[in-house]
Amino acid sequence: MLDVTNIDVFYDKTQAVNHTSLHLKKGQIGCLLGPSGCGKTSILRAIAGFEPIKNGEITVTGNILSSEHFTLVPEKRNIAVVFQDFALFPHLSVAQNITFGLSHLSHQQQRDRVNELVELVSLQGTEDKFPHQLSGGQKQRVALARAMAPKPQLLLMDEPFANLDADLRDELAKDVRQILNHEQTTALMVTHDQQEAFAMADVIGVMHQGAIHQWGSAYDLYHRPATRFVADFIGEGVFIPAIIREDKYLTTTLAEFVLPAKYNFTVGTEVDVLVRPDDIIHDDMSPFSAKVVAKSFRGAHILYELQLPDPKIQKVLCLAPSHHDHTLGESIGIKLDLQHIVVFNR
């Protein structure tokens, strides 16, 4: 549905997006995730038609919207954009804000669509209120309803929940996902908050320095990170040193593993293995122990930071059920239980 193929975006001589591609199917929700300045907004702006592209192509349902020598104006793209500051018209009521893009419809059709959207975004009873009389979450719902009212072929959202507090953000993210699914709207959003990306998106692109390192599901990004940057950026974890032995064995201080077939390291190569907090199991019977150097209570679990006796390994993290409450300085038995073996060259 949306095909962004090998695009470059420049601001004068500064390259903000570097030969980047992404694809969304109809009804899919995509998310660009990455640290500040990595180029997320620039991709969104190029798709919306606010920035020209230097190379490549942007198409929606096969129609070219942007190419090296062509930029279709934003108003002809049938793409809606929701900004982080909501950008509602302050002098228009909720109903008038939502009606704004519907002038091509009859009055009855406008009323029907507004009623439908007000119900969909759970704003019944606020139709005659003005933006300053609404909470942040309500304003964001109006912004979403207004953007979706003309049934755009694509919805773009730039940090749509950034101005909301954490609880509201989680709740709204789930609601927005349901609303988009209900309307079968294809959407692409930008965020630097991974929980928000996980809550909203079917497919996530992790960006760094103008490039998408991996375009995949939350599960794949966490368990099968394609690059060291993705492994570091998504979730928590540490790298522990290992060496490739004959017969494709991988030896670490804590355990030995068979190297998955997709890796092609020569014998003797020194590598790093990704170890997530849920890969380290607390087990009093284990021959390996480590000292608790820090802990953080997370409700159902405690995240322990553990120092192993091996000086080559800085620390590992262990997520243990919170009824196992150990004190700082205590040594606890641990074992490594890697379900997904992810290895990078040292």
Ligand X SMILES: Nc1ncnc2c1ncn2[C@@H]1O[C@H](COP(=O)(O)OP(=O)(O)OP(=O)(O)O)[C@@H](O)[C@H]1O
Mark 164-193 with x for binding to ligand X (rule: CB under 6 A) and - for no binding. Answer: ----------------------------x-
What's the closest the beta carbon of residue 9 comes to ligand X, in angstroms? 8
Burial of 82 (0-12, 13-18, 19+ CB in 10 A): buried
**C-beta of residue 63 within 8 angstroms of C-beta of residue 15:** no
Complex with ligand X: residue 45 or 146, whichever CB lies closer: 45
Stretch that binds ligand X, among 8-16, 55-63, 102-110, 262-270 (CB under 6 A): 8-16
What's the closest the beta carbon of residue 265 comes to ligand X, in angstroms? 33
What's the closest the beta carbon of residue 207 comes to ligand X, in angstroms? 7
**Tokens encoding 7:** 């695009």
Complex with ligand X: residue 16 or 197, whichever CB lies closer: 16
Complex with ligand X: residue 42 or 252, whichever CB lies closer: 42
Instruction: Give the one residue of 13, 14, 108, 287 binding ligand X; rule: CB under 6 A.
Output: 14
Residues 42-101 that bind ligand X (CB under 6 A): 42
What's the closest the beta carbon of residue 41 comes to ligand X, in angstroms? 3
Q: Which helix (H) or strand (E) holds 212?
A: strand 211-216
Residue 34 to residues 63, 189, 234, 245, Cα–Cα distance (Å): 28, 12, 10, 36
Complex with ligand X: residue 39 or 235, whichever CB lies closer: 39
Mind giving me the DSSP string for 134-156? S-HHHHHHHHHHHHHTT--SEEE
Residues 23-52 that bind ligand X (CB under 6 A): 34, 36-42
Complex with ligand X: residue 40 or 139, whichever CB lies closer: 40
The tokens 């006796």 sit on which residue? 309
Q: Is residue 211 at the binding interface for ligand X, with CB under 6 A as the rule?
A: no
Instruction: Give the one residue of 16, 81, 199, 211 binding ligand X; rule: CB under 6 A.
Output: 16
Complex with ligand X: residue 37 or 321, whichever CB lies closer: 37
What's the closest the beta carbon of residue 129 comes to ligand X, in angstroms? 31
Residue 184 to residues 79, 148, 155, 257, 344, Cα–Cα distance (Å): 14, 11, 11, 44, 39
Mind giving me the DSSP string for 216-261? E-HHHHHHS-SSHHHHHHSS--EEEEEEEEGGGEEE-SS-EEEPPT
Q: How many residues bind ligand X (CB under 6 A)?
A: 12
Separation of alpha carbons 208 and 346, rounded Å: 20
Mark 191-210 with x for binding to ligand X (rule: CB under 6 A) and - for no binding. Answer: -x------------------
Separation of alpha carbons 227 and 330, rounded Å: 35
What is the amino acid identity at position 82? V
Complex with ligand X: residue 28 or 41, whichever CB lies closer: 41
List phi, psi (to 5°) of 319: -100, 110
**Tokens encoding 337:** 């239980």
Complex with ligand X: residue 113 or 213, whichever CB lies closer: 213
What's the closest the beta carbon of residue 237 comes to ligand X, in angstroms? 23
Return the half-sphere exposure (C-beta side, CA atoms, 13 A cut-off) of residue 1: 17
Interacting residue ranges for ligand X, rule: CB under 6 A: 11, 14, 16, 34, 36-42, 192
